[in-house]
Amino acid sequence: MANRERNKKILLELVKQSDNSRCADCGEPEPDWASYKLGIFVCLNCSGIHRSLSSHVKSIRLDFWEDKLVEFMESNGNARAQAQYEKAVPPYYYRPQREDCNILREQWIRAKYERKEFTGETKYPPLPYTTGFYEGILLKKGKDNTQFLKRKFVLSEREFTLSYYNKEDESKGPKAVISIKDLNATFQPEKIGHPNGLQITYQDGDHTRNLYVYHERSEEIVTWYNAIRAARYAYLKTAYPTGSDEELLPMITRNYLKEGYMEKTGPTQTESFKRRWFILDSQNRKLLYFKGHLDAEELGAIFIGTECKGYSVKEYVPLNARGNKWKCGLMVETPERQFVFMCEQERDQREWLEALRKVLSRPMSPQDYTAEAVMKYKR
CATH number at 3 reads 1.10.220.150
Query: pLDDT per residue over 59-74, tens digit each?
Result: 998 888 899 999 999 9
Point out the domain boundary residue: 87, 114, 141.
114
- 237, 157 contact by CB (below 8 A): no
272: confidence class by pLDDT, cuts 50, 70, 90? confident
Most confident of the following: 24-33, 119-128, 368-377:
24-33
Kindly state whether residues 60 and 142 are assigned to the same domain: no
CATH number of the CATH domain containing 156: 2.30.29.30
Cβ burial of 201 (10 Å; 0-12, 13-18, 19+) is buried
* Mean pLDDT, rounded, of the chain: 91
Q: Length of the chain, please?
A: 379
Backbone phi, psi, residue 314, to 5°: -155, 160
Kindly state whether residues 15 and 108 are assigned to the same domain: yes
Kindly state whether residues 146 and 232 are assigned to the same domain: yes
Asked if the structure places residue 193 within a domain, the reply is yes
DSSP state of 308: G
The helix (run of H) or strand (run of E) holding residue 287 is strand 286-290
Mean pLDDT of 280-288: 95
Kindly state whether residues 91 and 159 are assigned to the same domain: no
- 210, 143 contact by CB (below 8 A): no
Report pLDDT for 118: 92
Number of domains in the chain: 3
SS3 (DSSP) at 306: coil
Q: Which domain holds residue 52?
A: 1-114
Kindly state whether residues 374 and 262 are assigned to the same domain: yes
DSSP calls for 299-357: SEEEE---GGGT-EEEE---SS-BS----EEEEEE-SS-EEEEEESSHHHHHHHHHHHH
Kindly state whether residues 86 and 146 are assigned to the same domain: no
374: confidence class by pLDDT, cuts 50, 70, 90? confident
Kindly state whether residues 140 and 83 are assigned to the same domain: no
| pLDDT value at 372 more than 90 | no
| pLDDT value at 52 more than 90 | no
Asked if the structure places residue 58 within a domain, the reply is yes
Mean pLDDT of 225-250: 95
Asked if the structure places residue 121 within a domain, the reply is no
Kindly state whether residues 157 and 242 are assigned to the same domain: yes
Mean pLDDT of 346-363: 97
